[in-house]
Amino acid sequence: MAAKIMLIGNLAIGLWCLDGDCEGARVRQVNSYFYAVKTLYVIRHAKSSWEDPFLDDFDRPLSSRGRSDAPRMGKRLKEKEIHPDLLLSSPAERAISTCLVIAEKIGYNLNNVHTDRRLYHADDDQLLSIVRGLNDANDEVAIFGHNPGLTDFVNRLSPEPVTDNIPTCGIVCLKFSLDSWKQVHWGKGDVDFFDFPKNR
């Protein structure tokens, strides 16, 4: 007996196949089960500017490189046909600016972008609390925040470490085979992809 998981949209279907061929025409479905899939896009803000040494950290804008990287990464998400149900950002200038640029590139309604002050320099435990509080009507969510919290967060969500550093404007996509965001636990996320501006 062999097993195969088929992913159709946000619905995962498990098939048990008696003849061991879950790909060919001989497949016989003898049992099936259904469960929801939650998808989380963890996005670090694009490169910020340090030109004004007196500017508060919260108010630092994107640098010229950041203004170039953000639309580039938005275009890559669009190419993957990614359409999150919710974009949730730290309200810090460099984070919300990154969020709005990417939102525009993927065709997300800018009026539906939300901010959460807790995302500003949140650590991994704070990020987990935020994710667990997400509305379950949103199956795909993108959060925009800051290091080192984001890197620690994805490394604890994945069974294996993902990276020692999410670069600026880097994106880690994790999928969870569960019905509710409240069920998210450390080590239960499957990394779907990890991308960043210098990856190509």
Q: Which CATH superfamily is domain 37-199 in?
A: Phosphoglycerate mutase-like (3.40.50.1240)
Average pLDDT of the residues in 23-45 = 65
What DSSP letter does each residue of 68-124 carry, written as one string?
Answer: HHHHHHHHHHHHTT---SEEEE-SSHHHHHHHHHHHHHHT--GGG-EE-GGGTT--H
Encode pLDDT of 47-104 as tens digits.
Answer: 999 989 899 999 999 999 999 999 999 999 999 999 999 999 999 999 999 999 999 9
Res. 7: pLDDT tops 60: no
Q: How far apart are CA 92 and CA 158, in angstroms?
A: 27
